[in-house]
């Protein structure tokens, strides 16, 4: 039986992907380096995850719910 794909999993996958991509584009040692300013995006994702842990408000999850994705029972992010 496969686990249900919910907003909780999708937010984690999306945040992880954004962090990895922005690090690949922002670290000079990376072969995909574009600009060090991509590290600001990494900081933004981290700050958003941090605040959602306290406020339980997550813009990404709110958007996913509006697009019809199922919300997890007891989701850690969102209202």
Nearest to 57 by CA among 65, 49, 67: 49
Q: What is the pLDDT of residue 1?
A: 43
d(CA 69, CA 1) in angstroms, rounded, equals 19
pLDDT tens for 37-65 read 999 999 999 999 999 999 999 999 999 99
d(CA 30, CA 69) in angstroms, rounded, equals 34
Nearest to 6 by CA among 76, 54, 55: 76
0.85 exceeded by the pTM? Answer: no
């Amino acid at each position: 039986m496969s686990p249900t794909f919910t907003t909780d999993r999708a937010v984690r996958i999306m945040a992880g992907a954004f962090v990895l991509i922005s690090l690949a584009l922002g670290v000079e040692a990376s072969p995909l380096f574009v600009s060090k300013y991509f590290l600001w995006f990494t900081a933004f994702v981290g700050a958003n995850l941090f605040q959602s842990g306290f406020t339980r408000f997550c813009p990404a999850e709110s958007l996913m719910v509006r697009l019809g994705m199922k919300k997890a029972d007891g989701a850690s992010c969102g209202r």
